[in-house]
Amino acid sequence: MDAKFLAEKAIRLAETGCYSEALRIFDKNVFSALSPRAQSFYALSMATVDEDYDRAVNMCLTAAAKEFYNPEIYLNLGKTLVLSGAKTRALKAFKKGLRFDEANALLIAEIRRLGHRRAPAISFLSRGNVINRFFGILTHKVGGLGLARTG
């Protein structure tokens, strides 16, 4: 079997969540022969199975540099970043992918899954500051009553 066929098979496996099987195929394949899209799936599989987050994130970033216009690569980068615990960076990756395909249902679903945080009430204070936390809780409760501020 040729490398391209194996890479596509591994991608299909990764898309369905069979990361261990995909990783076995990717590991047998010559890395330099993989397309940027395949590299991003390889990275996601590696992050999921081996928990080698640094290497996986770097691999996704390399793929994104080669095919910066491919929203699927940003989806895989974001998922890899979520696995590594870098949710803020993951959200940025998902949003960057939406710049190239604003109707991408998978990117939109990942953004919704992460949730959206509003800006801190007082921008020059940290999000964790007691005053910001108090105002955040207050505006959330008031917003739940339909009395939230507009604008």
Q: Report yes or no: 2 and 28 within 8 Å, Cβ to Cβ.
A: no
Domains of the chain: 3-116 (1.25.40.10), 118-151 (no CATH)
pLDDT (tens place) for every residue of the chain, 151 residues total: 677 888 889 999 999 999 999 999 888 876 556 899 999 999 999 999 999 999 999 999 999 999 999 999 999 999 999 999 999 999 999 999 999 999 999 999 999 998 866 778 888 988 889 998 888 888 877 765 544 444 4
Please give the Cα distance from 64 to 72 (Å, whole number): 9
Query: What's this model's pTM, rounded to 2 decimal places?
Result: 0.75
Q: Left, alpha or beta for 120 (phi > 0: left; psi -120 to 50: alpha)?
A: beta
